Amino acid sequence: MSPISPQYASQLLVELTEGCPVPAAPAPLSRYTFQISNHVLIGDTAVAGHKYKGRWRLDDRDIRKAAARLASLPFDPDDRVDARLSSSEGERTWRSQIRGWFDHISYQDQSANGCLCEGQQPCDRSRPNQHGLGCGATFDQVKERYGRWPLACTSPLPLLTWSGTAWLVPRAYADLLDRADRIATECVEQAALCSRCHTAGDVWKWRTSGSGGYTTLCPRCTTAAARPYRGHLRGRQYTSLRKNAQPEAFLCRLCPTPRQALYWDHCHTHGDVRGPVCASCNTYEGGGHRFIHRPGAIRHLLLCEGCRRDRTVPPRHQPDIVLQVFTPDPHEPCGQPPNSVWGAVLDDGSVRLRMHCWRCSSAPRWEQIVPAAEVRRLVREFVDQALTDETDAPGRGSA
């Protein structure tokens, strides 16, 4: 294997396919690319991703083979077929993805500029206009928004044309994307098999990231490979852990079904270890948004002795607490409470609430600042209640 970075792989693919009739458009590659499959599609070639020394890599030879196959595609630009763009429920095909781009642009244009169609107002955007799109949208708007979005690492929009009655695409390219859809489905089905017992399951529930890449383990095989965490590192500073502390030996303490851990989750404010978590839960906690709504999330955060002592949680989780217990001001034009509220913590510890009123077209968005002192009070009361509930819960205690 000749491992190369995703960035170099993308550059190499573009260079090797320069001047080809099917434009290459490498997809942004990250660990999320391989979350539901071990492969990325380049045309109708599945290229495997590998973790090499903790970083995702691809094989130089695989990229060259895929580029050569894409460049040699028999292609007659005048042999065009109806793309049959559809948005079938539950299906994710190249046709439904392009249809989704078109529908989104039509919706945005109608929302911004109103409906100019004759008859019922507003229209449902299902009748194509002179540009083949809904309502007043144009293909230039689609290209501006989605021109760089790839399908199987190719760029579809330059190959689409509107005949006046249908969207057309070169036959060879349509066949290529059909093959890519079938191969992608096969890759996902393969990734959904438990790597030990080969039982088919839910790829989103069974698949997890590890030091060597993503693996799929059913609950039974997961519990055979890892054990429950019993809190032996509680109170320890994360910086004091040895490099061979091996969180992979334990089950994620946040997942409702058994999943192998990958990281030692810890409080970045106080440095205390909370416990082993999988990559998904680690990302979710690190993002902050709505994490506290997960069952057991507050109890997990308070495994940090510093947070428990100070009756607080890390700042990124505080806006969600404020939103649970704070009543924002009503919207002045209509006097109604906001339909949606989003909060963000500021540098001084205050929380800025951004609100939206769907009832009013006039000034539908506004902000409100919750002072830092009020935020601290609300968070402390919330944590005190959580600790009380924890103590009162039978057989729970504070461990």
pTM of the model: 0.78
Please answer whether residues 230 and 253 qualify as being in contact, where contact means their C-beta atoms are separated by less than 8 angstroms.
no
**Separation of alpha carbons 376 and 396, rounded Å:** 27
Separation of CA 203 from chain center: 15
- The angle at the Cα of 272, spanning 268 to 277, to the nearest 5 degrees, equals 80
**What would the two tokens of residue 221 be?**
């095989």
Residue 108's nearest CA partner among 84, 73, 137 is 137
**Separation of alpha carbons 206 and 129, rounded Å:** 45
The secondary structure of 34-79 as a DSSP string is GSS-SEEEETTEEEEEEEETTEEEEEHHHHHHHHHHHHT----TT-
Q: What residue type is 152 in one-letter code?
A: A
Q: Is the peptide bond before 122 cis (omega within 30 degrees of 0)?
A: yes
Q: How far is CA 120 from each of CA 129, 132, 135, 183, rounded to the nearest angstrom?
A: 16, 20, 12, 43
Separation of CA 238 from chain center: 28
Tens-digit pLDDT string for the chain (399 aa): 689 999 999 999 999 999 999 988 987 776 678 888 889 999 999 999 988 887 889 999 999 999 999 999 998 999 999 999 976 656 789 999 999 999 999 999 988 888 877 766 678 888 899 999 998 999 999 999 999 899 999 999 999 999 999 999 999 999 999 999 999 999 999 999 999 999 999 888 898 888 788 899 999 999 999 999 999 999 999 999 988 789 999 999 999 989 999 999 999 999 999 999 998 899 989 988 889 999 999 999 999 999 999 999 999 999 999 998 888 888 887 878 888 888 999 999 999 999 888 777 666 888 999 999 999 999 999 999 999 987 766 554 444
**Separation of alpha carbons 384 and 308, rounded Å:** 9
Burial letters for 303-317: b for 16+ Cβ neighbours within 10 Å, e otherwise?
bbbebbeebbbbbbb
- 245 DSSP assignment: -
Matching residue, tokens 């997960």 = 294
Matching residue, tokens 């069974």 = 206
Element (H, E) at 96: helix 94-113
Q: How far is CA 48 from each of CA 53, 58, 212, 382, rounded to the nearest angstrom?
A: 16, 7, 13, 47
**What would the two tokens of residue 200 be?**
């088919």
